[in-house]
A and B are shown apart, each in its own frame.
Chain A
Amino acid sequence: MEIDLGRYRSLKTRSGWLVVFLMIMALMRAWSIFLSNAYIQFAQRIIDGKTVTLAEAVDLDSQSMSIYAFGGIASIIFYYHIVHVGLQRVQEYPSP
């Protein structure tokens, strides 16, 4: 049996960063759920005829924008890391 051992590259580092990224995305989704709840409560208050302010609506929308911004920044950092580390590790020979 001939096995080219040299071609195996561990996924350890990549998996670590990928999981960090996935967790950030999960955090974003969870945040989005809370925001959806806030929107529902806000709309329900309008239906019930209670007082709502423009500032509350603006706050909800700014939170919504924050989620997109958070996700965008996380993605940029993640992809920068992948490219940067990937290029650095082209010549690497890992051990098991």
Chain B
Amino acid sequence: MWVYRGYKNIQALNADKPRFSPGWAVGGFFIPIYNFIHPLFVMIDLWKSSNPLVDINDRYSWKGAPISLLVYLWWLLLAFLFVGTSVHFMLHGTSHYTLSPQEIISQMQVARVIDGIGVIYLLVSSILVNKILQRQERKNVQLVGLTIPIDRSDRGVSVQQLTNGKQQELQYEQNASFSGSSLESDVKQSEIFNRRLAKCPFCNGKDIYDYAIKREKSVIEENKISYIYLFKSACSKCDAIWYWRDKDTR
């Protein structure tokens, strides 16, 4: 699931032509012998495509991104476990009830080394998973909130009014339903529809302003209409802005 979702995110992060489809990225792990090298390809793609420093306007620039030694270290440990476990099983796969004490000692010494490498591999895997998560999050934030400067003039206009829940909902509808020309002009037209205590992804500040920018599409599901809205959020502490989508079911 992690690999599938991570791989599916590659194109959403504006990186085109990964090596595999998300399905094959997972499926490759189950092909005997080939699954020795497949994890390396998958991790390289995940690592390179999540690089936040490449030109995000170029959908192919990620292919030239550097690969961390951590990825190779991770694969080397995996390869060692792959080979080591197979050889160990072939040599000592029989029950130890039939082994002499000397044979048990040699078998357990090898097992100890393999398990030790296994612990290191699992720790490195955890680090790699976290790194890829952070890189994908960073690149996503960079993609959706990069260029438009914050306009402080539209702050504080309607925060007081929004203490009334009904007004808030009306304004939400007003702001969300207009279909403006560009995002920039939409932002200028809209007022703050919500102010909330939420964590800023950039500075950990906890004062976020939300703007409903536009309603993008509606979907009818089980006799309910779901609207997908595009929002702009701004942090009052660091002035960062970002866009995000949400679904509202009526």
Contact = CB atoms under 8 A, between A and B. Distances in A.
A23 B122 contact: yes
13 contacts: A5-B243, A8-B12, A9-B9, A9-B12, A12-B133, A19-B130, A22-B126, A23-B126, A26-B122, A32-B111, A36-B111, A37-B112, A44-B105
Contacts of B111: 32, 36
A5 B245 contact: yes
A55 B243 CA distance: 65
Given A5-B244, A15-B129, A96-B244, A36 B11 contact: no
- Classify the secondary structure of A's interface with B: helix
Contacts, number: 131
Interface in A1-59: 1, 3-12, 14-15, 18-19, 22-23, 25-26, 29-30, 32-33, 36-37, 39-40, 42-44, 46-47
- Classify the secondary structure of B's interface with A: helix
A11 B143 contact: no
A5 B109 CA distance: 52
Interface of B: 1-2, 5-6, 8-9, 11-14, 56-57, 96, 101-102, 104-105, 108-109, 111-112, 115-116, 118-119, 122-123, 125-126, 129-130, 132-133, 136-137, 140-141, 143-145, 201, 228, 230-231, 233, 242-247
